[in-house]
Structure 1
Amino acid sequence: MKRLLLVVDFQNDFVDGALGFPGAEKLEKPIADKIAAYREAGDDVAFTFDTHHRDYLHTQEGKNLPIEHCVEGTPGHELYGQVAELMRPSDTMFCKPAFGSAAFFERCRQSQRAADEVGKLPFESIEIVGLVSNICIISNAILAKTACPEVPVIVDAACTASFDPDLHEKALDVMEGLQIQVINRPEKA
């Protein structure tokens, strides 16, 4: 049984673009190393892309966060750095207009239904890395846990961050409360 790694929104606009923040670039190597390890083990890697269009400022999200970002076809929409180089044409890609990916959820549900028919789990685990911990990471982790309730869902704290360190810690706390395994989390002082 394979593991699934979901790399969430590690796009230029979240690292050093319109919504970039100091420290986001430091995730490049740990995420790239994790992708390489999954590939070496023969596991699956998938990517989400926050995807907006020129009408973004007129959308619900745009009215609440009026900073145009991740517009399809722009450099800000593309994956950042070495992570971009590691994406393969055969990898599953989910373009999502909202924080959570409905297509990712549906893929997990379909995998769960197929696994139920043969009495096994669809994945050994689903691990989630990328940006931003308190928005899209938590949203997709909850979707994974909902779609595949018996599959361990893992978030690597060393491979995610937020523009707001307090919200980052709170998001990790909430995920732990939802029985999502948060690994590599520094000890609290």
Structure 2
Amino acid sequence: MANDFLIVVDMQTDFVSGSLGTPEARSIVAAVAERAAAFEGTVVFTRDTHDACYADTQEGRCLPVAHCRRGTSGWELVDELEHVRRDRDCLVFDKPSFGSLELATWLVEQDSVEPIDSIELVGLCTDICVVSNALLIKANLPEVPLRVESSLCAGVTLAAHDAALATMRSCQIEVL
């Protein structure tokens, strides 16, 4: 039996239809939900998580748009993904920044118990949080096959999406 993982990155209301939402993000919701619901391995989620001090952080100074504040509707997973998370009782990693060190550490622990066969990433935003998590995972588990499903990701712009995919390919992450 395969030990495969699907990481669903930041499929939250603020990134889909809220303060940082885009048509591209909205266009992948149904397909990401379908992939997560049908995935035959372990599905985990990440959630961008900020608090009232966001404006005082480096990210807040560089991106002065309030988003994904803990406890708000914008912080929640979009309904389609929240249903999958609940139905499958999936683990969620709340992260204060682009990549989740906690997720990478947890995957290393899982791999030490039973070798991981593959890890796949989908979600938002390709050029920020997807690439950050992919590179953290690759650095911590360099021999585990890692892939990103490009049609199930969306970037801030199409050009940024494509640039992030090129970066991941350069780092030996398979882009589907």
Shared fold (TM-score, shorter chain, > 0.5):
yes
Answer yes or no: is the 8 Å Cα contact 1:112–1:147 preserved in 2: no
Answer yes or no: is the 8 Å Cα contact 1:8–1:47 preserved in 2: yes
Q: SS of the counterpart of 1:87?
A: helix
Could you tell me which residue of structure 2 aligns to residue 160 of structure 1?
A: 153
Could you tell me which residue of structure 1 aligns to residue 42 of structure 2?
A: 44
Could you tell me which residue of structure 2 aligns to residue 187 of structure 1?
A: none
Query: Structure 1 stretches of 5 or more lacking a match?
Result: 116-121, 184-189
Which whole-Å deviations, capped at 9, do the CAs of 1:65-94 have from their partners, x for residues lacking one?
A: 000100000000001131111112731110
Opposite residue 92 of structure 1, the aligned amino acid is: L
Could you tell me which residue of structure 1 aligns to residue 71 of structure 2?
A: 73
Identity among equivalent positions (%) equals: 40
- Aligned positions of 1:1-189 closer than 5 A: 1-38=2-39, 41=40, 43-88=41-86, 90-115=89-114, 122-183=115-176
Q: SS of the counterpart of 2:94?
A: strand
Give TM-score, length-normalised by structure 1.
0.88
Give TM-score, length-normalised by structure 2.
0.95
- Cα drift, residue 10 of structure 1: 0.3
Query: Structure 2 stretches of 5 or more lacking a match?
Result: none
Answer yes or no: is the 8 Å Cα contact 2:6–2:121 preserved in 1: yes
**RMSD (Å) for aligned C-alpha atoms:** 1.2
- Cα drift, residue 111 of structure 1: 2.3
Opposite residue 99 of structure 1, the aligned amino acid is: F
Residues of 2 paired with 1:155 and 1:166: CA distance? 17
4+ long deviations beyond 4 Å: none
Residues of 1 paired with 2:106 and 2:140: CA distance? 9
- Cα drift, residue 95 of structure 1: 0.2
